[in-house]
Structure 1
Amino acid sequence: MNIKLFGEVFVTLLVITDPPGMVPIFLALTGAMSARDRNRAAFNAVALALGVIAVFAVGGRTILEYLHIDLPALQGAGGLLLVLVALELLTGKADNPDQMNTSNVALVPLGTPLLAGPGAIVATMLFVQRSSSGSDYLAIGVAIVAVMVAVYLVLRYSGFLVRLLKPSGIEVLTRIAGLLLAAIAVQLMADAVGAFVEKYAQSH
């Protein structure tokens, strides 16, 4: 196995997925759930993210070419999804546990576009494109799994913060997480617009 490539992929994806940065958003979305539901949401989110990244690693370029989708369009779509979730968190509509479905929260926005977002997808596709041997592909695969295990452990053991913060603390955290999500969404859309402008400026 190519250890150097493993290190590169692991560090790159760990920085992009940013497990510590995910904790406030994860707690804001799952704070009202029971510990069991919260753990299930963490597992489902990581499993989905792993599946999405694996699919794009294997056939990402083919999928995007077949659908005539540019990477910036994927970024913009991710940004729009996050805006919707951020608005829910900021307005308090996501506070009611009856409205929150464990699987829904785990799939969107946790699994995608937060964990398996445009950044992680594009980085993985570039690593695969650069690789040429079986040991390279093995290194990339193991690194992706290792990152997802690390993310799961961080989310899985973030539950003690819920006990520490109490409901009032969770509510404050929810508003802050909403603001952070909105900022991430705006950045994603700004990057997408910038990439489109650059692309069309080069073609004319």
Structure 2
Amino acid sequence: MFDSSEHIKFVISLFAIVNPIGAIPIYISLTDGYRPEDRARIVRITPIAVVGILLTTLVSGELILRFFGISVDSFRVGGGILLLLMATSMLQAKTSRAAHTSDEAEETSDRETIAIVPLAIPLLSGPGAISTVIVYAYKAKSLSAYLITSAGILLIGLAIYLSLLAAPYITKKLGKTGINIITRIMGLILTAIAVEFITSGLKNIFQNLP
């Protein structure tokens, strides 16, 4: 049963994975020297792209698992391991992803393109977020559950929009140290979620063994 506590857990876990505040330094770096109108377009396009990717995943995620013959418990374990690796990186405040995405951005002359790649994917709606949506989509058996889960994704999109919109103000107030602290807190939350994914998946797998 996909009750209210599951919806709350889904929104919290997805927020921790997407980590809109942690993406602010990368957004600032990628848009350095851009005109205000260019930044405004990127701020609008990025959350729309993220919501579109995650909603598509919500609708088609279970079909993808069936197509490849993957059980949801196996996917839950794999997704949990992936989330744990992401959480470890966040706890250590790694900057390699930012450097990587900066390299990708330099390869394109179209400034609006960075709203899709690398900001929307793989930075915000990367494998971790997609894995989480697929796992929770499996639990959403009713139309109302799908609608509420979709509302949660829209809420994440709003959080991304507000974070990018307030990026200059947040960066000025929090500074690099403050953003790193928030990223580590998100990493700690994500670690707990990843462990729950893995243990839940392994428990079901071992119970179903002949």
In the superposition, the TM-score normalised over structure 1's length comes to 0.65
Query: Which 5+ residue runs of structure 2 have no aligned equivalent?
Result: 32-38, 106-113
CA distance in 1, matches of 2:64, 2:100: 37
- 149-158 or 106-115, larger mean C-alpha shift: 106-115
Query: Which 5+ residue runs of structure 1 have no aligned equivalent?
Result: 129-135
CA distance in 2, matches of 1:192, 1:23: 22
Q: What does 1:161-180 correspond to in 2, within 5 Å?
A: 161-166=166-171, 169-180=174-185
* Residue correspondences, number: 187
RMSD over equivalenced CA pairs, Å: 3.9
Q: Is 1:26–1:110's contact at 8 Å kept on the other side of the alignment?
A: yes
Q: Report the counterpart of residue 133 of structure 1 in structure 2.
A: none
CA distance in 2, matches of 1:194, 1:10: 20
Q: Report the counterpart of residue 99 of structure 1 in structure 2.
A: 103
Matched, 1:76 2:81: yes
In the superposition, the TM-score normalised over structure 2's length comes to 0.64
Q: What amino acid is the match of 1:149?
A: L
Post-superposition offset of 1:8 = 7.7
Q: What does 1:1-204 correspond to in 2, within 5 Å?
A: 11=8, 13-18=10-15, 22-32=19-29, 33=31, 34-56=39-61, 58-59=62-63, 61-63=65-67, 66-67=69-70, 70=74, 71-81=76-86, 83=88, 86=90, 89-91=93-95, 94=98, 98-99=102-103, 101=105, 102=114, 103-113=117-127, 115-118=129-132, 120-128=133-141, 136-137=142-143, 139-166=144-171, 169-184=174-189, 186-195=191-200, 198-199=203-204, 202=207, 203=209
Q: What amino acid is the match of 1:105?
A: L
Post-superposition offset of 1:125 = 0.9
CA distance in 2, matches of 1:186, 1:9: 18
